């Protein structure tokens, strides 16, 4: 196999990051469609911790994990 061949994005970390992003997005969109957008934004920007904020944090964590999955890992020979 060529030494220039990198398996970028094809590892369990990338798949886990995508899974976390999808889970957060489903929860966020479910709340958005269950309530009106004004009501949703009110919950998103108040000072209490609620499911909307947890979903945003989950999506951000998924983006970080996805970024870790795309970094280049070269094995020492």
**What tokens does 3 get?**
């030494």
Q: In a 10 Å sphere around its CB, with 0-12 CB exposed, 13-18 middle and 19+ buried, how is residue 34 labelled?
A: exposed
CA distance 8 to 71: 7
8 or 51, higher pLDDT: 51
Q: For the segment 23-76, what is each residue's pLDDT rounded down to a tens digit?
A: 999 988 888 888 888 887 888 888 888 888 899 999 999 999 999 888 766 666
Q: Is the pLDDT reported for residue 5 higher than 60?
A: no
Q: Is residue 39 part of a domain?
A: yes
Residue 10 lies in a domain: no
- Assess if residue 35 is contained within a domain: yes
State the Cα–Cα distance between residues 45 and 28, nearest whole angstrom: 14
77 part of a folded domain: no
Number of domains in the chain: 1
Question: Residue 5: inside a domain, yes or no?
Answer: no
Residue 22 resides in a domain = yes
pLDDT at 8 over 60: no
Could you tell me the residue range of the domain that residue 56 belongs to? 18-70
Q: What is the pTM of this model?
A: 0.74
Is residue 13 in a domain? no
């Amino acid at each position: 196999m060529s030494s220039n061949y990198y398996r970028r994005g094809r590892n369990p970390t990338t798949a886990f990051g995508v899974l976390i992003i999808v889970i957060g997005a489903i929860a966020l969109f479910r709340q958005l469609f269950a309530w009106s957008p004004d009501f949703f934004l009110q919950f998103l920007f108040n000072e209490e911790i609620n499911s909307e904020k947890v979903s945003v944090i989950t999506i951000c964590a998924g983006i970080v994990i996805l970024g870790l999955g795309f970094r280049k890992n070269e094995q020492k020979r």
